[in-house]
Structure 1
Amino acid sequence: MQLETFNQLDSGEAQRVLQSCAHIPTWISELLQQRPYSSKEQLYQTALAQAQTWQWPEISAALEQHPRIGEKKAAAVLSEKEQQFSQQEQGQIQTDAVLQLALYQGNLDYEHKFGYIYLIRAAGRSGQQILSELQRRLKNTAEQEQAEVKQQLGEIALLRLNQEIQ
């Protein structure tokens, strides 16, 4: 949609647009309050700055809305737009049976260690790159991993926002 259209949406509709990018209520609220935006760059920079303020409890809650990496079908609880984003982002990942099994096992190991799903910006990455990152991140401390998850969730949100608002 065009920026002008986004600026003119009622708050409920605009909230749904932003929620499809990231399930972070404070981020959504702040971006809504800043409307109207004079340019897409202003919206993007505001979204980026707000993403830097995210705290772990809200990030953790947002993770519950993301499908596991390697799951080709997004969870039914996601909005249609979120399902489209997820399918588009993960749909480019080519995996053979061995890689699929390694991702599945890595996801289990990751969830066992950290207590939440492995989140990575899948767009632009191969299945092997995603697996390599998963294996590297399994060596992180809890604090290091929370910082990486925040970074990845921010990248996903901004990528989606960029795709959603022209």
Structure 2
Amino acid sequence: MTSSASPGLARFNSSDAPTAAELLHEVCSSSAWGATVAAGRPYADAESLYAASDAAMAKLTAADLDEAMAGHPPIGRPKPGDPTSNKEQAGMAGASEALKAEMLDNNLAYQEKFGHVFLICATGLTGEDMLAAVKERIGNTPEQEREIVREQLGKINRIRLARLVEEEGTSA
């Protein structure tokens, strides 16, 4: 292969607009983010795609962030049949029932305070890590939390984009 683009990235770059939009929606539910990233195609390499994702994330409005967060299930309650959220929240899978119950209580308190799910890049974190994070972050102001959520979404998007560009088979 003469290009540095992986087969998955090459497929994404050459996808028709509806397919690209669908693939990006699986990464992030923000339509503004998806439109911006799709408009930047073709990407020479994964790093260019990640940089475009980061730049698009930085420009999202509060409403765009709300739309992006709406695509994420609460920690400890991944969407049934959704292998992505199950994989990302694997650290909660082996947690004790007591930890899961405490996480649920903290999720609800967080959601009551901020009006949206507690969002964290859960990949590689244990249930204890996630519980400690929600307990720490519930003390934040809404403004502080909005920026932390933007950062966490950016991390999640990079992980999901990496999966997209590394896939060997057809994604859509």
TM-score normalised by length of structure 1 = 0.90
Equivalence for 2:85: 86
Equivalence for 1:138: 138
Q: What aligned pairs does 1:1-166 form with structure 2 within 5 A after superposition?
A: 2-72=8-78, 74=79, 83-93=82-92, 94-166=94-166
- What is the distance in 1 between the residues matched to 2:120 and 2:62? 16
Alpha-carbon distance, 1:154 to partner: 1.3
Structure 1: 5+ residue stretches without partners: none
- What is the distance in 2 between the residues matched to 1:56 and 1:40? 27
- What is the distance in 2 between the residues matched to 1:92 and 1:127? 5
Alpha-carbon distance, 1:116 to partner: 1.1
- Percent of matched pairs sharing the same residue: 30
Q: Which amino acid aligns with 2:75?
A: I
92-101 or 105-114: which moved more? Answer: 92-101
> Secondary structure, in 3 states, of the residue corresponding to 1:165?
helix
Contact 2:9–2:164 (Cα < 8 Å) also in 1: no
- What is the distance in 2 between the residues matched to 1:125 and 1:22? 20
Deviations 1:89-124 (A, max 9, x none): 012433101101110100111111111111111101
- What is the distance in 1 between the residues matched to 2:122 and 2:98? 19
Structure 2: 5+ residue stretches without partners: 1-6, 167-172
Alpha-carbon distance, 1:28 to partner: 1.0
Deviations 1:115-149 (A, max 9, x none): 11111111010000000000000110111111111
- What is the distance in 2 between the residues matched to 1:25 and 1:141? 26
- What is the distance in 2 between the residues matched to 1:67 and 1:24? 15
Deviations 1:19-54 (A, max 9, x none): 111111121111111111111211111111211112
139-148 or 83-92: which moved more? Answer: 83-92
